[in-house]
Amino acid sequence: GENVEQHPSTLSVQEGDSAVIKCTYSDSASNYFPWYKQELGKGPQLIIDIRSNVGEKKDQRIAVTLNKTAKHFSLHITETQPEDSAVYFCAETSGNYQLIWGAGTKLIIKP
Chain residues binding other proteins by CB under 8 A are: 31-32, 34, 36, 38, 41-46, 49, 89, 93-99, 101-104
What is the nearest approach in angstroms of other proteins to the Cβ of residue 70?
A: 21
CA dist., res. 85 & res. 106, Å (int): 8
What is the nearest approach in angstroms of other proteins to the Cβ of residue 98?
A: 5
Q: Which is nearer to other proteins, 5 or 76 (CB)?
A: 5
What is the nearest approach in angstroms of other proteins to the Cβ of residue 39?
A: 10
Write the CA distances from 81 to 73, 85, 107, integer angstroms.
23, 8, 11
28 near 7, Cβ under 8 Å? no
Q: Which is nearer to other proteins, 25 or 89 (CB)?
A: 89
CA dist., res. 54 & res. 50, Å (int): 7
Does the bond joining 34 to the residue before it have cis omega, within 30 degrees of 0?
no
Q: Which is nearer to other proteins, 77 or 91 (CB)?
A: 91
